[in-house]
Amino acid sequence: MTELGTQGHAAVVPAAGACECNHQHDRNRTESTSRATNQVIVAARAVTVTKGARTILHDIDLEVSRGEIVTLIGPNGAGKTTLVRVLLGLETPSRGSVTRADGTVIGYVPQRIEIDRALPMTVRRFLRHGLPVGEGEIHVALHEVDAHRVADRQLSVLSGGEFQRVLLARALLRNPDLLVLDEPARGVDYSGEAELYALISHIRDARGVGVLLVSHDLHVVMAASDRVVCLNHHICCSGVPHAVARHPEYARLFGPKAADAFAVYEHHHDHRHDLSGEQSSP
């Protein structure tokens, strides 16, 4: 594993309003150490980020392994994007460390990407820009995300869902070991969300990559996840989706009806659709 972070000894003050959940945090660490270390792609250990008097992240332990979809949820301002930046090596933690498996390649789809809509650029040209890829690779990536029909369209005329698929195709052109997707359903309508998360699951299955999702779309994205981590400057709770949805901290952050709503969502989505829309058993 290659270390990316720093290790210091500065005093840390928990964020205001942080709950006392050391027992849960200990369980999280026990779960982490029980994972097969040769399968772990990226791991954060006791990561803390402070900016002035503010603690953005406090004592975060997080792992993503090959073949699993981990979803990071939490309210606005909880530190989700900061944690992603730390995991990517774009920001250095005040304390703690981040390690990646040697040779790890990450495909990243940021929450926001600014493209001048007046700029004439086709999807094909956008995918080639800055990447040493050929037409064959672009063809395969666009087919993989079911966006081959837009290859020669201008970026400016794409729908929200089409644009997100193109961004995903660009991330896949790096042949990543880990996909990091920050709000991948941004600008996508409700019916398109489930299709997009089904596509992400399909890519995980086909490629064996690890996936870290950051999302506010709780019901859809949680149901598509193997493991959910609830963040509010510290890790409030983590585990399989239905367990997190019933955790008191989840209810405190998202309201007492959140767990009930998720249970209803699971009940009405206890089957799956393939990419052609055909229903199948779970």
> What's the rounded Cα separation, in Å, for the pair 155 and 153?
6
Closest CA to 180 of 72, 108, 110: 108
pLDDT at 123 over 60: yes
The residue type of 172 is: L
Mean pLDDT of 58-75: 94
Higher-confidence residue: 271 or 131?
Answer: 131
Give 228's strand partners: 71, 239
pLDDT tens-digit map of 158-181? 988 899 999 999 999 999 999 999
Say what the pTM is: 0.76
24 — pLDDT class (breaks 50, 70, 90)? very low
Asked whether the beta carbons of 199 and 144 are under 8 A apart, the reply is no
CA distance 67 to 209: 5
Q: Where are the domains of the chain?
A: 111-175
What is residue 173's three-state secondary structure?
Answer: coil
pLDDT, tens digit, 9 for 90 and up, residues 211-267: 999 986 666 677 778 999 989 999 988 888 777 777 777 677 767 655 555 543 443
pLDDT of res. 217 = 62
Q: How far from the centroid of its chain's Cα atoms is residue 206's Cα? A: 18
Q: Are 86 and 47 in contact (CB under 8 A)?
A: yes
Q: Is 64 helix (H, G, I), strand (E, B) or coil?
A: strand
Among 105, 141, 109, smallest CA distance to 123 is for 141
pLDDT at 14: 33
C-alpha count within 13 angstroms, C-beta hemisphere, residue 259 = 13
